[in-house]
Amino acid sequence: MSQPFNQSVTFTLDKAHFQECFEQSAPAVQPKDFSKAAIFAVIGVPLLFVEAEHYYIPFFLIGLAILEVFSVLYRQTWWVWRQLMGKSAYGQVKLTIDEEGIATDSEHVNAQIIWDDVTSIEHTEKGLLLRHKGGVNYLSNSHLNEEIVEFILKHKPDAKIEH
């Protein structure tokens, strides 16, 4: 009779962790991400040439277009900064992987992902992306040993494993 699998790891939610999470889980910037900026610019620039008493509306729309471009280009910096300003930043997280699923315990969050809820597992170069009914979670290889990674990949044989 084999022992049930149950392993725990503890790590800190620091800047390096948040940067890795974003890099591995966020989709790459696509041209369509700039569509709102283009719409604001297409409306704002022609309004500059319309004779009007007040030019604040076209300048406002052009300013929004510029702001939208920066929000796309610096989305990682903004996301990491927001995480570091949160109350869970630099806190300790205990990750427990067992036969039931993956449990996350910290001072502010206690959550569990049950294996039946996992729809796909994507193996990235630095970790695992678990897609489930509640969203997407990233697990870094820097916190996991080989035995845990193998257990996660083998425990969900019907999940779509992408490399």
pLDDT tens per residue, range 89-133: 999 999 999 999 999 999 998 999 999 999 989 888 899 999 999
The whole-number pLDDT of residue 161 equals 60
For 31-65, write each residue's pLDDT tens digit: 999 999 999 999 999 999 887 778 899 999 999 99
The whole-number pLDDT of residue 67 equals 97
List the chain domain ranges: 6-26+86-156, 31-84
Please give the model's pTM, rounded to 2 decimal places: 0.82
Rounded to an integer, the average pLDDT of 60-80 is 97
Tell which residue, 39, 85, 87, 90, has the closest CA to residue 62: 39
Whether residue 160 is predicted with pLDDT greater than 90 in this model: the reply is: no
Separation of alpha carbons 92 and 107, rounded Å: 8
Whether residue 1 is predicted with pLDDT greater than 60 in this model: the reply is: no
Instruction: Look at residue 92 and give its three-state secondary structure.
Output: strand
- Residues β-bridged to residue 103: 96, 112
* CATH number for the domain whose boundaries are 6-26+86-156: 2.30.29
Separation of alpha carbons 38 and 27, rounded Å: 20
With a pLDDT cut of 70, the percent of the chain lying above it is 94
pLDDT band at residue 155 using 50, 70 and 90 as cut-offs: confident
Whether residue 76 is predicted with pLDDT greater than 70 in this model: the reply is: yes
pLDDT band at residue 71 using 50, 70 and 90 as cut-offs: very high
The whole-number pLDDT of residue 17 equals 96
Q: CA angle 118-110-128, nearest 5°?
A: 35
How large is the angle between the packed helices 56-73 and 35-48, nearest 10 degrees?
160
